Structure 1
Amino acid sequence: MNVRAAKKLRPLACAVFVLTIAAGCSPRPNDGSQDDKAAEPASAASGKVTLKMMENLTNPQRTAILKDMIASFEEEHPNIRVDLISPPFDQADETIGTMLAAKVQLDVVEVRDVNIADYVSKDYIEPLDAYAATWHDFATVANIPRSVGMVKDKLYFIANGLYERQLYYRKDWFDQLHLTPPATWQELYETAAKLTDPANNRYGFSFRGAKGGNSVYDTMIRTYNGERMKVDDGAFLVDGTTIYSSPEARQALDLFTRLYQDASPPESLYFGFEEQVNAFTSGQTAILLQDSDVIQTLQAKMKPGVWATAPMPTGPSGKALITVGAAGWGIPVQSSHKDEAWKLIAYLSSPQQNIELGKKYGLVPIHTLAASDPFFMTGPYQPLIEMTNNPATYIYYRLPIGYPSYLGWEKESRTTIQEMLLGRATIEETLAKWDAFWKEQQRLMQ
């Protein structure tokens, strides 16, 4: 078998391996005398159903929380058993996509805002509108979590929490130099440069150049474009051109380049989420831009008073363009137990369970009932409330998740930005590629 063929088969092999492990190593009693296929009819005959549930944003802490919630669900629904499959984070997108394409039996799958349009275009997941219409808790689901789970006015997943970005900084370092948290991107660069001391392995900014790194330079470019942004389509300006075609995009990407060159660990060009966060918690870097789910990690690894939070930086216009990301539970079209799958989703998405998940894992809950909870209005969460309550400065926009190729954008931009930062392409060449990418996506949608 040649290398190319082996690479094509690897995702399917990984998917089958994950499913086999999940089915064969269940912690619940099994007489071991028959495999899953043989056990299914007996289960159905006895009125019991086994749901295969697969998470995407796998994290040991969150997985443990989910297992506790699932155990409570099973106590309330003794005829439903849930097998939670937790693929490695870096392989989850590929594994889930392969399993959905192969119609492997799954009943509940974690869908992300970045892949929902792709899943819908390939007919991988069911619309949930009919279920939501009879779900009494849907009345308190806020507008943003509703919108992120929709494509063409149909609902495809119920968000399990919102990922909203803010600035985290080493308060001890800042106090030593009598610095204040940066309010603008320019100030962020200048402050990070002041805090950088390569001889002592100290850097001002916790850079992320691997998977997910586009969240920083895309945010900068959108913020520098300011109110010219088309807020319901984050890849374009109100005049119909892409956000990468403007002079402001050139200015933002130049500052981003200097932020890496002058204030970030050289090896951070290849940092992913864990490396980026570890650099901050270990004392290598001073400023971190991350979603609120990182709060639990910082609290566990850092002493109180060492770090603090602040709102996202603004651009030259005094505005900050910010967005809210989400992932949540959907039902694959091949599920044999859709009604039972919805019961599980409704249970996990109830105000009680969802707010508990938010508190334990650091997500912003999807229900409006959480807005009055002191837990989310004080301490490290306070800047999130501050940004929400100041829409004149902090302008929310929608990621261009409606384009089926949005998931491919992260890979495309990651490759080109690394080439640029390594000196193999200019800023102008990089922006031209990005502009062409989104023009093509726009053409395909017409």
Structure 2
Amino acid sequence: MKKRVFISLLLVMLIGVFSFGVVTLNFIEVLTSPARTQVIKEIIADFEAKNPDIKINLISPPYEQADQRATLMLNTNQALDIIEVRDYTVKQFVNNGKLENLESYLAGWEHNDTLTFVANQAARTVDDTAFIVPQFFFIKGLFVRTDVLEELGVNYIPKTMSELVELCIEITDPDKNQFGFGFRGKSWEFKFSDLIATSFLSDIDAANIYKTQSGDVYFDDPRALEGLKMYVRLFEGGVPADGINWGFNEQVNAFVSGITPFLIQDPDTVALVDEMLGREYYTVVPVPVGPSGKAYLDYGFSGLGIPSYSKHKEEAWEFIKYISSPEVNAYYSKSYGPLPIHSSTYENDPYFSSGVYTAWSYMMSHPEKYVFASYPLDSEKWPGWPEIHQQDMQSLLLGDTTIEAVAAKWAEYWAD
């Protein structure tokens, strides 16, 4: 009996010894989906196998509740060591003192030098200081149905906005159900009209896409008015009439069916078009530049940060640098659909160094032409803006108002 007790006590002591020092990190993701969460779990399992002294508890709230849950956990200092931070929540978290400054961590990271220009810009969204390590990007590219253009006798791909609009109008033939451009009429449609209008200006403030570098709102600037005129001309001459009501699904369906051989969309559209159409029938090229010689691209992203009150910051960094490493980040991006964060991935990984992804690689490596600009997401005026813009743009496209009237209204709305 004594021998059994002794052995039991010995086992308890051994278990205590081997479990001593194991740290459990709480990690909350916010862009939750079953497929993406499964990929993250796979990455966590690989990390834990390589780091047996660190365990990770993944918190995956329903997508609709995730931002609210993450904000609540941070604001109430709940146990949290790694947090997924979105482009429009990072400033709020930093201003509340809830995110750790990661500059010293990045300085000692072996892969810091291969972060793309855009990754470095996104990391330092607030106060030019890195509070997150971006995990991926959504940047628009021009999808082109090369087979349709060949059938129509077109032997070039537009490199300027003017060429794109004129070609879309030229190939449009409503009697044959042939149009030029996969228009976005609803649901954040301003990102498409802004892309054309801003390309007429050379002095947009990258920190606020609705202002010039001199701090002025530019909607009623003559250059911006010309851009809006081009956008209206594209709708009137190169788009199906019901394009005014199109969202993402309608855009993609029209592109896949060949009704509209040009589409501007994000990289996660690639997998969908591959499945519905096949890579041999289309390509992706850089977004055409405007008369300014530039295109202003907004970029969606999320990144990982460390709560400032975490008791396990070093261990949290070990995981962040693992999931952010070129190899793991490339795997993550392939599985999920967005763009990876390392320039070396676009150089060395065949999946990203050839084919459609070369368009995004080119844009990210030519900042003199492609300026990555941010929307004023932290403005109190932002929440109501998408609906206001959509209503005004629909009125404009239907002929119920004028370019000058909507431009004046928008300029007044965004005035300081």
TM-score bracket for the superposition, by shorter chain length: 0.7 to 0.9
1:333 offset after TM fit, Å? 4.8
Q: Counterpart of 2:114?
A: 140
Is 1:398 aligned to residue 373 of structure 2?
yes
Is 1:342 aligned to residue 312 of structure 2?
no
SS of 2:200's partner is helix
- Say whether the 8 Å CA contact 2:136–2:338 is kept in structure 1: yes
CA distance in 1: counterparts of 2:87 and 2:45, whole angstroms? 27
Is 1:167 aligned to residue 142 of structure 2?
yes
- Say whether the 8 Å CA contact 1:107–1:337 is kept in structure 2: yes
CA distance in 1: counterparts of 2:243 and 2:150, whole angstroms? 25
TM-score w.r.t. the length of structure 1 is 0.74
CA distance in 2: counterparts of 1:141 and 1:316, whole angstroms? 30
Is 1:114 aligned to residue 88 of structure 2?
yes
Q: Counterpart of 1:238?
A: 213
Q: Counterpart of 1:70?
A: 44
Q: Counterpart of 1:301?
A: 276
Q: Which amino acid aligns with 1:161?
A: F
- Say whether the 8 Å CA contact 1:54–1:106 is kept in structure 2: no
Using a 3 Å threshold, how does the CA distance of structure 1 residues 265 and 157 change in structure 2: closer, same or farther?
A: farther
Residues 316-368 of structure 1, C-alpha deviations (whole Å, 9 max, x = no match): 24443445543211234565654443332121111221133334444433223
CA distance in 2: counterparts of 1:87 and 1:130, whole angstroms? 33
Q: Report sequence identity in percent.
A: 30
1:388 offset after TM fit, Å? 4.8
- Long gaps (5+) in structure 2: 1-18
Q: Counterpart of 2:329?
A: 354
Using a 3 Å threshold, how does the CA distance of structure 1 residues 209 and 131 change in structure 2: closer, same or farther?
A: farther
CA distance in 2: counterparts of 1:364 and 1:254, whole angstroms? 32
SS of 1:285's partner is coil
**1:164-203 equivalences in 2 (<5 Å):** 164-179=139-154, 180-196=156-172, 203=179
Q: Counterpart of 1:415?
A: 388
**1:42-53 equivalences in 2 (<5 Å):** 47-53=22-28
- Say whether the 8 Å CA contact 2:329–2:341 is kept in structure 1: yes
Q: Counterpart of 1:247?
A: 222
Q: Counterpart of 1:221?
A: 197
Query: What RMSD, in angstroms, separates the aligned Cα atoms of the two structures?
Result: 3.4
Is 1:287 aligned to residue 285 of structure 2?
no
- Long gaps (5+) in structure 1: 1-43, 441-446
- Say whether the 8 Å CA contact 2:29–2:66 is kept in structure 1: no
1:80 offset after TM fit, Å? 0.7
Residues 165-210 of structure 1, C-alpha deviations (whole Å, 9 max, x = no match): 2200122221111123222223322333345455676543222344
- Say whether the 8 Å CA contact 2:199–2:293 is kept in structure 1: no
SS of 1:136's partner is coil
Residues 17-62 of structure 1, C-alpha deviations (whole Å, 9 max, x = no match): xxxxxxxxxxxxxxxxxxxxxxxxxxx9994525232132x45554
TM-score w.r.t. the length of structure 2 is 0.79
SS of 2:153's partner is coil
Residues 52-93 of structure 1, C-alpha deviations (whole Å, 9 max, x = no match): 32132x4555444323212212322344133241633x7655
SS of 1:193's partner is helix
Q: Counterpart of 2:182?
A: 206
Alignment coverage as a number of residue pairs = 391
